[in-house]
Amino acid sequence: MSAPLLDMENLTVRFHGERTVHAVNGVSLTLQSGETLGILGESGSGKSVTLKTLLRLLPENRTEIGGTLRVDGQDVLALQGRALADHRGRTVSMVFQDPMLALDPVYRIGDQIAETVMRHEGCSRSEAMARALDMFKSVQMPSPERRLRAYPHEMSGGMRQRAMIALALACRPKLLLADEPTTALDATVQIQILLLLRDLQRQFGMGMIFVTHDIGVVVEVSDRVAVMYAGEIIETGTVHDIIRDARHPYTKGLLAANLHGAVKGARLNAISGAPPSLESRPTACSFAPRCPVARETCASQPPPNVAVGAQRQVRCILAQQ
Amino acid sequence: MSSLSASQNSAPFEVSPGYWSGVIGRLRRDPVAMFALLVILALVLMALFAPYIAPNDPYRGQLLRRLRPIGTAGFPLGTDELGRDMLSRLIYGARLSLLMGVTPVFIAFFFGAFIGITAGFVGGKVNSLLMRTVDVFFAFPSVLLAIALSGALGAGIFNGLLSLSIVFIPPIARIAESVTTGVRKLEYIEAARASGASSMTIVRVHVLGNVLGPIFVYATGLISVSLILASGLSFLGLGVKPPEPEWGLMLNTLRNAIYVQPWVAALPGLMIFCTSISFNLFSDGLRSAMDLKS
């Protein structure tokens, strides 16, 4: 196997301020080119922080990043100034959650895309606009020539997200990050955008990391899944493994909390309790207080990271048997 | 290329208009704003072509015909306390009054926006330093500050302009700072950073583009205040010096005649009122026309 596109080893992120927040606690991930990884987790589990670390978008002076992070052989944590700006958008690019907020309201979409292309490829304005038009065709934008000249507020939510994807892919990044790209859209548009992202990922042969809290979405697009809880990855495996044979109690709880197949009138399953505050570094299993099958040792020592097959790990004491 | 694609697609759809043409379109449908704009244009034209419009010399007076009422033959708006033609003086007065009203706001717009955007975008200690300095000026009421500054600098048009500009920098900087701070936290700034834009590009393209509009609208609203303050300075003998025709100064010199010819004495005040309310109404119309969400 060739060197991975993304190699993240024991990544930790701390935010310093009035109180310290341990947002990401020892996350290790690898991703090959052409592979899609879904990161599944609830709000505040550190998914978005992990993504933003890949682009170094977190506020420099209040953030402490530990561990190693290499994308395409380059040490991302060591990048500075122009090299960092070159990395952003060219090597790694991001699709944001709400395209209404992530597109500048006072510029035409085409100009925003062209600006990025000109920045990274140093080409002329007309070449950049031609690229923007190509991208609009790739994302199946209806009447692309006209939409290039539209402002974000003149488009529907689905078209805005298509434009956002076109912007993110305009410089042919090697790694695409998608931060809940379908959350702000309605259900019928969601599936279109998901299928589009999957097709484009295959067409361009990029690596993609797809962050979501929706299991259905993960199943649709990912090859592998990593489940995050309280800033740690608690279970990784192929989509099939996770759905058919979840090992971690949290993953099982997530799957049980799914609305699909719920009987009308019956009480919905939910994981009781709330995620822990991240003010101190976890010294035991973070999920133990909510875990239905917790043991005494769970609350006293950190759980082992158990390998239960190739590319399949579970951070739970129960997986050892 | 753009014209080509426009012509290809213009048949079934309406090609999306630019932001500013949209603003102008909405402004055109606003009768109040358009009327205010017409008044402002008329005033500007009057100031520009004063020598051609004014029936008499605004400086030459005859004491024999002082304080004639409105409607006197040859002097349709009467004469002032030195027998000078009121109509001609009001027409010539538009020059200095508009100059004193508009220039300080533009100077203050430039410096205030610079200070505010810098403070808002850099944030942290730089923001505190700049904005607390600006706050010191906020401690004084604007009228008092203008009077104190021109009093210290001495009377004259240039000093008047200077002191008014200084008076308007703090409020514009304050608005610019708050708008910039709001914009800086928005996701499209982060998205621009995520696609590799440098800080300079982000400020130049994304911050300025989103921030200048609101600041400009606020500044146009200040023009009326500036006009009134400038007139106030002249009224107190600090701005324009006699015998220059300027509305505030005319109001001052005519105030002794208020019992003799009250209508004539009120005319400069009427001009100030009309001009400032026109600028205010136009700025209101511009504000609503620039609001994309409505």
Residue B188, Cα to own-chain centre: how many angstroms? 32
Residue-wise pLDDT for A206-238, tens only, equals 999 999 888 888 888 899 999 998 888 989 999
> Is there a domain that residue B16 lies in?
no
Q: What is the distance between the alpha carbons of residues A74 and A87, in angstroms, rounded to a whole number?
A: 9
Residue B89, pLDDT above cutoff 80: yes
Give the strand pairing for A36-40 and A224-229.
parallel
Nearest chain A residue (CA) to B124: A61
Q: What is the distance between the alpha carbons of residues A243 and A60, in angstroms, rounded to a whole number?
A: 38
Q: For A15-38, b where at least 16 C-beta lie within 10 A, e where not — what string? A: beeeeebbbbbbbbbbbeeebbbb
Residue-wise pLDDT for B236-272, tens only, equals 888 787 788 888 888 888 888 888 888 888 888 899 8
Residue-wise pLDDT for B49-65, tens only, equals 988 888 888 888 777 77
The H or E element spanning position A198 is helix A187-204
> Is there a domain that residue B176 lies in?
yes
Instruction: Give A102 to chain B, closest Cα distance, Å.
Output: 4
pLDDT value of position B13: 38
> Is there a domain that residue B122 lies in?
yes
Expressed in angstroms, the distance from the first to the final Cα of chain B is: 32
Q: Is A80 exposed, middle or buried (0-12, 13-18, 19+ CB in 10 A)?
A: exposed
Domain carrying residue B85: 21-56+77-290
Tell if the CB–CB gap between A105 and B210 is shorter than 8 Å: yes
Residue-wise pLDDT for A84-141, tens only, equals 888 898 899 999 888 888 888 888 889 889 989 998 988 888 899 999 999 999 998 9
Tokens matching residue A254: 């997530």
Locate all alpha helices (DSSP H) within chain B, ordered by sequence: 2-9, 19-28, 31-48, 50-53, 86-122, 124-138, 142-153, 157-184, 187-194, 199-201, 208-235, 247-253, 262-290
Identify which of B170, B171, B164, B168 has the alpha carbon closest to the alpha carbon of residue B96.
Answer: B164
Q: What is the distance between the alpha carbons of residues B281 and B11, in angstroms, rounded to a whole number?
A: 38
Tell if the CB–CB gap between B186 and A101 is shorter than 8 Å: yes
Instruction: Give B245 to chain A, closest Cα distance, Å.
Output: 44
What predicted TM-score, i.e. pTM, was given to this entire model? 0.76
> Is there a domain that residue B26 lies in?
yes
Tell if the CB–CB gap between A149 and B6 is shorter than 8 Å: yes
Q: What is the distance between the alpha carbons of residues A219 and A240, in angstroms, rounded to a whole number?
A: 8
Residues 1-20 of A with CB under 8 A from B: none
> Is there a domain that residue B14 lies in?
no
Tell if the CB–CB gap between B209 and A120 is shorter than 8 Å: no
Tell if the CB–CB gap between B8 and A149 is shorter than 8 Å: no
Residue-wise pLDDT for A281-302, tens only, equals 888 888 888 888 888 888 888 8
pLDDT confidence bin for A263, thresholds 50/70/90: low
Q: What is the distance between the alpha carbons of residues B176 and B114, in angstroms, rounded to a whole number?
A: 8
pLDDT confidence bin for A260, thresholds 50/70/90: low
Phi, psi of B94 (to 5 degrees): -60, -30
pLDDT confidence bin for B216, thresholds 50/70/90: confident
pLDDT value of position B292: 63
Instruction: Give B9 to chain A, closest Cα distance, Å.
Output: 7
Indicate the DSSP class of residue A284. S
Q: What residues of A are in contact with residue B210 (Cβ under 8 Å)? A: 104-106
Identify which of A226, A199, A197 has the alpha carbon closest to the alpha carbon of residue A211.
Answer: A226
Expressed in angstroms, the distance from the first to the final Cα of chain A is: 30
Tell if the CB–CB gap between A89 and B194 is shorter than 8 Å: yes
Give me the residues paired with residue B207 across strands. none
Residues 172-231 of B with CB under 8 A from A: 186-188, 190-198, 201, 205-206, 209-210, 213
Residues 10-29 of B with CB under 8 A from A: 13, 15-16, 19
Number of structural domains (chain B) is: 1
**DSSP assignment string, B174-198:** HHHHHHHHHHHTSHHHHHHHHTT--
Q: What residues of A are in contact with residue B217 (Cβ under 8 Å)? A: none
> Is there a domain that residue B107 lies in?
yes
Tell if the CB–CB gap between B196 and A86 is shorter than 8 Å: yes
> Is there a domain that residue B242 lies in?
yes
Domains within chain A, CATH numbers bracketed: 6-96+174-261+268-320 (3.40.50.300)
Q: What is the distance between the alpha carbons of residues A177 and A159, in angstroms, rounded to a whole number?
A: 19
- Give the domain CATH number at B198: 1.10.3720.10
Tell if the CB–CB gap between A90 and B196 is shorter than 8 Å: yes
Name which of B13, B16, B19 is nearest A106 (Cβ-Cβ): B19
Residue-wise pLDDT for B104-117, tens only, equals 999 999 999 999 99
Q: Which region, left, alpha or beta, applies to residue B31 given φ > 0 means left and ψ of -120 to 50 means alpha?
A: alpha
pLDDT confidence bin for B3, thresholds 50/70/90: very low
> Is there a domain that residue B153 lies in?
yes
Q: What residues of A are in contact with residue B2 (Cβ under 8 Å)? A: 129, 149
Q: Which of A96, A103, A136, A149 is best to mutate for the B interface (most B CBs within 10 A)?
A: A149
